[in-house]
A and B are shown apart, each in its own frame.
Chain A
């Protein structure tokens, strides 16, 4: 069982008090973090009491401690999952050796890059979502948003802890840079594309937490296998929190769908928009968009970096133990590669790629299967209501901005189409400015009354931690 020093400024289970140097570094970073939070965190609700879960230790009681707290006072702590005694590296060229407790010099730079890239996504999403409070559908949802936000903040802390404790001066500078980049700012953009996409309204927020945070889940699962034990332990604990974020996304979209079919039944033309709801094709377009930009986050289909990470035992596959061959040197994966001649698409050919070079694709495939599960649930809601519409994940090739399909145009079924056809049809497939404007128009009046729910979304079946749905999850003076 871990001992947590909650009396200190930084709750932790990493025995921070015995490492004065690290403690000082983190205490110096903390005010900068709080400044960032006040400047770039949730707009307008910083002084409100929010009913939040705070991690105070890593055991099952400790990480689910609920109480009212003002967000800037939230105790962002550092928690690593308990160590596995005598843990051995489970994959790659160093398989079977003792897991590394400190960074191997040979891999310092690429490991730092991995940590920075993961760390950069955490504050980015907080920035993307900072204005959503002003258009919230209920206090229940508002609280969920802030729960997600403070936990993304804590995930940033987790990565910063690794940078400060294991990567010296470079690590400290990278930790500062994590607070300097800004989502969507052309001068200081966040590192990955999807984290610079604006999250303008709640349909995007739920889509983001369902699809983009799910990329996070798979990245964390892969890093949880790392031969670098502090990274593995940190990410294992982060996964427990990430699950809630995806829950928010999945149930959020589900509740929209529930409300939409209700409104469709009410309307003689089955027109949800006429009743002030979000119609199913619009939801499908947001699924198409956020799913495809999240697919990009997995990296190139054929990647020497991915091979290098795996070979170096730094980043494995999700749940490595379920595979038989952990060295993956002899296997191949067949990947459909576009044939492009003189800039023109000429068809696809199946290419045998050494498995290590295809590790991004391995992870992406798992993500694809996992993403389908939510759609099945949402489709059951529609089916039960007696409508024939069904959500569908677009093809992996659809609307990609990185990897081998980038720059080419495919329809949602993955069929190659001309650029003209794409231009003509894209508004049917991905949200247009008009879609955004419509969805936003529904959210103009925020709901701060605990007894109310916005018209475009159904109430959740139950509240949080045994509290009723109409509990004042956020004490906000409207």
Chain B
């Protein structure tokens, strides 16, 4: 997509490749991969700050996200990934403070959200893909640096008297760790809450044996035994993890065709198209269903590789979503449409899920779909789906509608049809751990499960009756209803809408993941724009300056 009209921030592109990495080194030794942070100080994503001490910005995290993704698809032989630093005495200093200090609020929020998604994809790789991440802390891991370690399955800390783990955010900057750190401390690592309290107010952090006693790390090793310890741990993971039959599947560049015309801009991918109307603050995303018969065997699927419809679609949609978040801050409403053959979508869904039982690649595709749809759930933009005649909201693509705040399906003479598939009943859960159907029908227990019987295409009227769509206007009303829905939505406060939608989307139980994003939205975002952090005398503003911060002492 072309540059956003209002951008003070430069356009960010999310596609990269190891050959273009500036900050990460990815190397392989059989089943063990090494992901080494070596952040180049003078290569920030935008000018104005220096990436000292292996601190990161979005540019670094884009490489990390890419590396995690490529390891899963391109390197099935890898069963352990050692994350460490190539810089002396520092593992990672976390998100760059001067970058945060000079970023807009919206950018900070989206940055934190993206880094959270990256950490979650890393955790998912450990849990689902048999790729076990080990944080080898050969130096200080501060703030986001420790949060990266927390996302790993196993943390080894060098016991050299200076390597430490720390959350200096509160004592130094008057903000919170923004990448789920506090939640992971007590929820994932089950650090005792009082110790977590002490830890999170101690700027210099905790070193050596105490870090292990407090469960902040899993293992400490002296410097002379450090590499050996990490390697032994990696080898242990390798030997306890089943092998995945290669070869890997290369992920080529998406090669979107970006255009700009008459005040609108957009991008055409193979299965996804997006167009942005800046004046209306509206983006329309159209997904195309698959063509032809689905692959019947793992070999056929492998031959399709990255061109397999599900994978290609997921990668393209993913790219569109992050693009809308970062490069189109003023777009408030995303209209989701589909086009194609719903029967084909269902056929591809069933074929993929059958293969995913035994084939790692098919399984990876399903996981990628899952991550991408979660990314959609977490958009801080209104989502409306419009199901029109010729659309294919079926199976995988029905999830777009189920993820939406509202769905309009056209009834009347030429109707829209929707359909369920096995994808609707488990493989693609939301961050709360439930399927979108389960979350939708929390008030009617058993209903989601009962829908398994719905094997046919469902017309708009019936879909309305069954609660699968919000409205089903007929031929006479459709155009007006759609227009008014868009115009009305566009008139409401973007802040109130973001908060309202986040509240309504994630009913039901909490998971670590849902807590992280909820608290990111509620607490982190709030603290991040309070005067105590970013006011004229706030701690984030004053960091590195000669004066000390001043606080407004009133508690809320």
Contact = CB atoms under 8 A, between A and B. Distances in A.
A357 B543 CA distance: 11
B545 A307 contact: yes
A334 interface: no
Chain B's interface: helix, strand, loop or mixed, by majority?
Answer: loop
Interface residues of A, number: 27
Given A110-B203, A187-B223, A189-B160, A342 B42 contact: yes
A186 B223 contact: yes
A204 interface: no
A445 B507 CA distance: 83
B355 interface: no
B48 interface: no
B161 A188 contact: yes
Interface string B523-551: 00000000000000000000111111000
Interface string A291-314: 000000000000010011011100
A177 interface: yes
Contact of A304 (B161, B202, B543): B543
B546 A329 contact: yes
B477 interface: no
Nearest to B159: A187
Contacts of A355: 546
B162 interface: yes
Contacts of A356: 546-547
Nearest to B225: A187
A350 interface: no
Contacts of A93: 547-548
B40 interface: yes
A224 B294 CA distance: 78
List 3 tightest A-B contacts by C-beta distance, closest first: A356-B546, A187-B222, A354-B546
Contacts of A354: 545-546
B123 interface: no
Given A110-B203, A187-B222, A177 B161 contact: yes
Interface in B121-164: 159-162
Contact of A357 (B159, B160, B203, B546): B546
A357 B544 CA distance: 8
A181 B204 CA distance: 18
A187 B224 contact: yes
A343 B41 CA distance: 8
Nearest to B40: A343
16 contacts: A93-B548, A186-B223, A187-B159, A187-B224, A188-B222, A189-B223, A191-B161, A191-B162, A307-B544, A310-B546, A311-B546, A311-B547, A329-B547, A342-B40, A354-B546, A357-B546
Interface string B1-45: 000000000000000000000000000000000000000111100
Interface string A312-348: 1000000000000000110000000000111100000
Contacts of A307: 544-546
Nearest to A173: B210
Given A177-B161, A189-B160, A328 B41 contact: no
Contact of B224 (A186, A311, A328): A186
Contacts of A343: 40, 42
Contacts of B545: 304, 307, 354, 357
Contacts of B160: 186-189
A109 interface: yes
A177 B209 CA distance: 12
Chain A's interface: helix, strand, loop or mixed, by majority?
Answer: mixed
Contacts of B159: 187
A113 interface: yes
A295 to B, nearest CB: 19
A91 to B, nearest CB: 13
A17 to B, nearest CB: 33
B547 A109 contact: no
A109 B42 contact: no
A182 to B, nearest CB: 10
A357 B546 CA distance: 6
A341 B162 CA distance: 30
B353 to A, nearest CB: 48
A311 B224 CA distance: 39
A181 B159 CA distance: 11
Given A109-B203, A189-B161, A307-B545, 4 more contacts: A187-B225, A191-B161, A307-B544, A310-B546
A328 B546 contact: yes
A311 B204 CA distance: 19
Contacts of A340: 41-42
Contacts of B544: 304, 307, 357
A355 B546 CA distance: 8
A311 B543 CA distance: 12
B42 A312 contact: no
Interface string B221-241: 011110000000000000000
B42 A181 contact: no
A312 B548 contact: yes
Contacts of A342: 40, 42-43
Nearest to B210: A173
Nearest to B208: A177
Nearest to A306: B546
A354 B545 CA distance: 8
Interface string A127-167: 00000000000000000000000000000000000000000
B204 A109 contact: yes
A188 B221 CA distance: 11
A109 B40 CA distance: 31
A304 B171 CA distance: 14
Nearest to B41: A340
A123 to B, nearest CB: 13
Contacts of B41: 340
Contacts of A186: 160, 223-224
A88 to B, nearest CB: 19
Interface in B480-539: none
Contacts of A188: 160-161, 222
A310 to B, nearest CB: 8
Nearest to B158: A187
A186 B158 CA distance: 11
A305 to B, nearest CB: 10
B6 to A, nearest CB: 30
A321 B540 CA distance: 32
Interface string B36-72: 0000111100000000000000000000000000000
Nearest to B546: A356
Contacts of B204: 109, 113
A203 B544 CA distance: 40
Nearest to A344: B42
Interface string B199-217: 0001110000000000000
B38 to A, nearest CB: 11
A270 to B, nearest CB: 43
A173 B544 CA distance: 30
A187 B158 CA distance: 9
A109 B543 contact: no
A343 B203 CA distance: 30
Interface in A342-368: 342-343, 354-357
Contact of B548 (A113, A177, A308): A308
Contacts of A187: 159-160, 222-225
Interface in B161-177: 161-162, 171
